[in-house]
Structure 1
Amino acid sequence: MAWIFLVVAGLFEVGWPVGLKLAQTPGRGLVGTILAVVCMAASGVLLYLAQREIPMGTAYAVWTGIGAAGAFLVGLTLYGDPASLPRLLGVGLIVAGVVTLKLSH
């Protein structure tokens, strides 16, 4: 169950930068801010629950890795962020690190 908490926490970790980006859109400031705060809180609570069974260093690295890779993908798909080869390789390394941490646990 701890790994489920951790993966869902990582998904919520993607939500807060999306909320902050949305808050920069005229007329969407309040909605974006609320989305960011709710995602931050949910992510933090779920990380707390995951760390009951998963070592802190592993949990934190996986949590931030999911958040970073997820935010990268949202940036590519929704906001037209560039998809250069070095950026794609970098996010691939993040994903490989997260998978390695999960397999070694």
Structure 2
Amino acid sequence: MTASWAWMTLLVAGICEVMYASALPRTQGFTRLWPSLYCLFFIVLSLYLLTLSARYLPIGTAYAVWVGIGAVGTAIYGIAYLNEPAGVARLVCLALIIGGVAGLKVLSPSG
């Protein structure tokens, strides 16, 4: 795996995190079978892809980017589909997270 593949794998891992986090409310505390299985599948896939990318990227960078993608993606999902507030301050904070993730990518030794 090359560094560019590691970054792509990390992006997919972050998307998988958004997939499971956005479905968590539908599990009703993991008491509903199908939403719970959906969540568990994407949790396992997300962590697996994170571990693959961490073979080639610094773990601190990989983890921070993974969490950032998950946090921003889940917040955007909440705003778009769950009618969560999208105030200016909240959007600025999300932009700061995106800036931090982009900075980690740019400044990563594996580029």
**Common fold: TM-score over 0.5:** yes
What's the C-alpha RMSD, in Å, of the aligned pairs? 1.2
Kept in 2, the 8 Å contact 1:13–1:43? The answer is: yes
TM-score (norm 1): 0.92
Distance 2:77 2:36 in 1: 17
Cα offset, 1:33, TM superposition: 0.9
- Indicate yes or no: 2:99 matched with 1:76: no
Provide the secondary structure at the position in 1 that maps to 2:56.
coil
Q: Which residue of 1 aligns with 2:68?
A: 65
Cα offset, 1:29, TM superposition: 2.5
- Show CA shifts across 1:71-102 (max 9, x none): 00100111000001111111110000000011
Gaps of 5+ in 2: none
TM-score (norm 2): 0.87
Tell me the number of residue pairs that the alignment of Structure 1 and Structure 2 aligns: 102
Q: Which residue of 2 aligns with 1:21?
A: 25
Kept in 2, the 8 Å contact 1:65–1:94? The answer is: yes
Gaps of 5+ in 1: none
User: Where does 1:44-55 land on structure 2 (aligned, <5 Å)?
Assistant: 44-55=47-58
Distance 2:80 2:92 in 1: 17
Q: 1:90 aligns with which of 85, 88, 93?
A: 93
Instruction: Give the share of equivalent positions with the same residue, in percent.
Output: 39
